[in-house]
Amino acid sequence: MATEQNKEVVRRFIMEALSGRNVGLADEVLAPNYANILTGTDLAAFKGMLAGMSTALGDVQFEIHDLVAEGDAVVARWTMQATHTGSLMGETPTGQRISSRGLTYYRLLDGRIVEDEPISSPDLLQALGIQMSA
């Protein structure tokens, strides 16, 4: 698949699935063997996480600053803003407005995302002040 087509798949994923909270789009743009490299999340777990995030961050919005593609890889540079409006990992909503900047590496195969690896600062839990127990 051409690099411009891969960039469009990633753009749709970020803007319609992540920002637009369209869980159903995941089946269209993520491969059945999708994996998040950072967390090991598979397709089913991702869809559950996205549904939970839709409740916890009701107004989440992503802005894409750059999409760079070569071969089967696309890297997105983005900013995410949201308000903590619902329960997240057992934490009560704080109403806190958060912002995070990041890069995500995506690898695609046959027009679908096979893997991704996001890096953000601060990450979502840090931005909300949620401490992970060891």
Instruction: Determine the pLDDT at residue 11.
Output: 97
Query: 93 pLDDT exceeds 90?
Result: no
Q: What count of other Cβ atoms lies within 10 Å of the Cβ of residue 47?
A: 19
Q: What count of other Cβ atoms lies within 10 Å of the Cβ of residue 15?
A: 17
Cα 25 versus chain centre, distance: 13
Instruction: Determine the pLDDT at residue 38.
Output: 85
Report residue 126: phi and psi, to 5°. -60, -45
Which pTM does this prediction carry? 0.88
Instruction: Determine the pLDDT at residue 129.
Output: 67
Instruction: Enumerate the domain spans of the chain.
Output: 3-128
Distance CA 75, CA 122 (A): 18
**Where does 3-128 sit in CATH, by number?**
3.10.450.50
At 5-36, the pLDDT tens digits run: 999 999 999 999 998 888 889 999 999 999 99
Q: How confident is the model at residue 51 (pLDDT cuts 50, 70, 90)?
A: confident
